[in-house]
Amino acid sequence: MAHAEAHAHDGHDHDHNHAPAGIGRWLFATNHKDIGTMYLVFALIMFFIGGAMAMVIRLELFKPGLQFVDPGFFNSMTTMHALVMIFGGVMPAWTGLANWMIPLQVGAPDMALPRMNNYSFWILPFAFTLLLLSFFLPGGAPAGGWTLYPPLVLQAGDSFGLTIFAIHMMGISSIMGAINVVVTIMNMRAPGMHLLKMPLFCWTWLITAYLLIATMPVLAGAVTMLLTDHYFGTAFFNPAGGGDPVMFQHIFWFFGHPEVYILILPAFGIVSEVIPTFSRKPLFGYESMVYATGSIAFLSFIVWAHHMFTVGMPLAGQLFFMLSTMLIAVPTGVKVFNWTTTMWRGSISYEPPMLFALAFLFLFTIGGFSGLMLAIAPVDFQYHDTYFVVAHFHYVLVPGAVFAIMAGVYYWLPKWTGHMYDLKLATWHFWLSTISVNVLFFPMHFLGLAGMPRRIPDYNVQFADWNMVASIGGFAFGLSQVMFVWIVLKSVRGGGPKASARVWDDTNSEGLEWTVPSPAPFHTFETPPVIK
């Protein structure tokens, strides 16, 4: 026994001495924490690049007329803003959080496939370099919307092939990351941790990973057909050769709709951990949350054509997609009520992670309701391709996905860095972000209902006032995020007090010791207490 221990100890020391230092530590990283950190830093950079593109869009729309950019470049901006934010911002951020937290939460020493983990990260900087290089090619960046609909996207210049290749690389990275999550959770859980004992973040990510593995190849197929139509004279989507542009929409949205759940499910996991912590109660309805997540994932595969009510589908098709879409509201409602019930009669405190989780709860629900409106086929004929749709998906993705990422970072940062960050500054960051995000996106509902079309650089003077309000909100929201970087940097560099062993039990928002006795840790509740 002693010999084995000595041998193990020696092996550890040996590895430690030969761990690459400096830049090598990051280039050849196989440690899940280092890779998680790289994903998160990459996502942050992409958020700012995508945000800069959004600023160009809001600057042009500040008042009617063509001021700053020509219409072609404006459409490149809307296209690239979406691609960068979805594939470069939100998805890598979730993968970074998964890398950091899943091994820790299931009791594994690392991710299951550390070399592949390294590879799946390092594909991304190259993919986005290619994507952004397309701005410098003749004809500029693609301007067909992030949905890349033919025939519009086939007008693209030389950048078209580059964009498709970049999308393929992002897809490969996502699939590899997802396989890693599945194998880690399925094979490397600590003894005694069966699936229904896992933290909900692990559950939501496991289901997300299956969605990624199932849908990314569908996107790959769709863009490959676009590629051959563009360069090799095939006619998948060209009516002149017997093809059908609507077929592209079907294939794309069969990927695209599960994709929106890929962007939001991990958020549900984070919120399901933050709310119980700061309510000082176990999560209400743990198993129903797991089943609701699974139901949402299953239903996400049968609702895709609600994005295409206006293509002239038969009435039976419209009815099916309308009703199946409305059905998703049921498991989503289960989650919202469970979170609310978790807080009911809890001992709630309002630290930054909880503030972001509460904003998520309220504002994501607004996005859900506008989604329910869009699901109704006859009225969608009015809403389709207006700013109402833009308002809807931004409410789900910004105060939804992005706020949940921030809640997660603020929740786990003290554990990552060993230092508490500036709670007062983080609270300011929360309030500035929350107010400005609503000033930015809420008026878009009014614009859309009044008939303002999306992806248009110029507009009727009747829409001028609300556009100006939205643009001001946009600039304020963008500037507020600089605070986030500062808060995180300060904590990483060791500014601020050392974090205690149980961070959120030992400090309240003023940084004082708690006067109430700390509650039983979450994991001591085998079953929720019975209420007589």
User: Residue 29 maps to which CATH number?
Assistant: 1.20.210.10
Q: Which residues are catalytic?
A: 81, 110, 146, 173-174, 257, 259, 261, 272, 306-307, 332, 335, 454
In a domain, 200, yes or no: yes
Q: In 3D, which of 359, 358, 367, 362 has the Cα closest to residue 328? A: 367
Read off the tokens for 351: 């630290």
Kindly state the helix (H) or strand (E) to which residue 366 belongs, with its residue range: helix 352-375
Residue 147 has a pLDDT of: 95
| Rg of the chain on CA atoms, in Å | 24
pLDDT of 523 higher than 50: no
Q: Which pLDDT tens digit goes with each residue over 341-353? A: 999 999 999 999 9
Residue 520 has a pLDDT of: 44
Q: Cβ(94)–Cβ(208) under 8 Å?
A: yes
pLDDT of 517 higher than 80: no
pLDDT of 471 higher than 70: yes
**Averaged pLDDT, 191-219:** 97
Task: Please report the sign of the dihedral spanned by the C-alpha atoms of residue 430, residue 436, residue 441, residue 445.
Answer: positive
Which amino acid makes up residue 353? P
Percent of the chain's residues with pLDDT above 70: 92
Residue 501 has a pLDDT of: 87
**Averaged pLDDT, 504-525:** 49
Tally of domains in the chain = 1
pLDDT of 6 higher than 70: no
Residue 119 has a pLDDT of: 97
Q: Scanning the structure block, which residue is given the tokens 């299931």?
A: 106
3-12, 148-157, 423-432, 447-456: range with lowest mean pLDDT: 3-12
In a domain, 522, yes or no: no
pLDDT of 13 higher than 60: no
Read off the tokens for 451: 């008939």
Q: Which pLDDT tens digit goes with each residue over 114-148? A: 999 999 999 999 999 999 999 999 988 989 899 99
pLDDT of 519 higher than 80: no
In a domain, 334, yes or no: yes
**Averaged pLDDT, 66-84:** 96
pLDDT of 91 higher than 80: yes
Averaged pLDDT of the chain: 92
pLDDT of 8 higher than 80: no
pLDDT of 14 higher than 60: no
CA distance 159 to 472: 32
Residue 333 has a pLDDT of: 97
In a domain, 10, yes or no: no
Residue 158 has a pLDDT of: 86
**Averaged pLDDT, 57-72:** 96
Residues in the chain: 532
Q: How confident is the model at residue 18 (pLDDT cuts 50, 70, 90)?
A: low
pLDDT of 191 higher than 60: yes
Q: Which pLDDT tens digit goes with each residue over 479-499? A: 999 999 999 999 999 888 999
pLDDT of 532 higher than 90: no
Residue 156 has a pLDDT of: 80
Q: What is the pTM of this model?
A: 0.91
**Averaged pLDDT, 218-244:** 96
**Averaged pLDDT, 413-440:** 97
Q: Cβ(386)–Cβ(453) under 8 Å?
A: yes
As beta bridge partners, residue 100 has none
Q: Which pLDDT tens digit goes with each residue over 252-293? A: 999 999 999 999 999 999 999 999 999 999 999 999 999 999
pLDDT of 60 higher than 50: yes
Q: Which pLDDT tens digit goes with each residue over 29-38? A: 999 999 999 9
Backbone angles phi, psi at 498, to 5 degrees: -65, 140
Going through 444-491 in order, the beta strands assigned E by DSSP cover none
Q: Which domain holds residue 246?
A: 24-515
Q: How confident is the model at residue 21 (pLDDT cuts 50, 70, 90)?
A: confident
* DSSP code per residue over 220-244: HHHHHHHHHHHHS---SS-GGGT--
**Averaged pLDDT, 373-388:** 97
CA distance 393 to 396: 5
